[in-house]
Amino acid sequence: MLHERPPLAPRAERIARLNAAIQGRSGADLSLAALKAALDPALGGRVALVSSFGADSVVLLDMVAQLNPSLPVLFIDTELLFPETLQYQCEVAAHLGLRDIRVIRAPRAELLEHDADGLLYHFDPDACCALRKVAPLARALAGFDGWITGRKRYQAGTRADMPVFEEDEADRIKINPLALWQPGEAARHVSARNLPRHPLLDRGYRSIGCAPCTTPVREGEDERAGRWRGRGKIECGLHSPAHTDGQGEAA
């Protein structure tokens, strides 16, 4: 017989308690404390990590593996990812012993209806992201009370004031344990923990998304400069207010 879950306290109250748990902390210590608090069922409820298995993703995956390797990890496979990312996803999951990787894809019928030739990214990248990322993740997040992302404030002006714990439009708590991390901190953490590195890092890629929309960055460029280069697009839509009614990571 299934046991009913006790009702969660109001979201604002839980966010206040989550913020109290990270008071006075910084760096990796803050991130781990944020995750620990969020994984407390009384505070975070049912939580998933949304991961792109991109450049820095292994940092959060490693922390989650230390706390609860059975936590659901949602991986959006747009079917336009680099083969290296797919290979890396398997390598990291095995290395860390992650037990619940859920691969999320757009339904075949929807792809055939809206992007039969697979070139929508070229003509309308916002529609492509909505089809291949935003809508699939919205469906996958149904039933979760919170989701963990790997976003950092320094990555974009749109993220400059991002809190560690925030609300979304779907009555979920969004958890950003790396919000306050500075450039280079993730790479140092990966080295110190001897974690597997994404193979494209050695080829000049610094932020890694879908193959058609990602290029290497040059010396001195912003790490996300290679995403949608020349297209005037900076976010995939997973984190814009209009789409926070149910989706995920650090794309």
> Which residue spans within the chain are E strands per DSSP?
47-51, 73-76, 101-104, 146-148, 165-167, 173-175
236 annotated active-site: yes
CB of 108 to ligand SF4, least distance (A): 16
DSSP classification of residue 55? S
Q: Which is nearer to ligand SF4, 95 or 114 (CB)?
A: 114
Closer Cβ to ligand SF4, 72 or 209, answer by number: 209
Please state, as a whole number, how many other Cβ atoms lie within 10 Å of the Cβ of residue 189: 20
Cα 140 from Cα 136, distance rounded (Å):
6
Smaller CB separation from ligand SF4, 84 or 167: 84
Shortest distance in whole angstroms from residue 134 CB to ligand SF4: 9
What are the residues binding ligand SF4 (CB under 6 A)? Answer: 78, 80, 121, 125, 128-129, 132-133, 209-210, 212-213, 236
First to last CA, the chain: 39
Closest of 110, 147, 117, 149 to residue 132, by C-alpha: 110
Q: Indicate the residue among 9 and 225 with the shorter CB distance to ligand SF4.
A: 225
β-pairing, 165-167 vs 173-175, is antiparallel
Using Cβ positions, the residue closest to ligand SF4 within the complex turns out to be 210
What the block records as the tokens of 123 is 């003509």
Label residue 233 left, alpha or beta by phi (over 0 means left) and psi (-120 to 50 means alpha): beta
Q: Which is nearer to ligand SF4, 42 or 103 (CB)?
A: 103
Instruction: Look up residue 59 and give its amino acid.
Output: V
Q: CB of 73: closest distance to ligand SF4 in angstroms?
A: 19
Q: Least distance in Å: CB of 226 to ligand SF4?
A: 12
Catalytic option among 129, 210, 213, 236 = 236
Active-site residues, by number, are 236
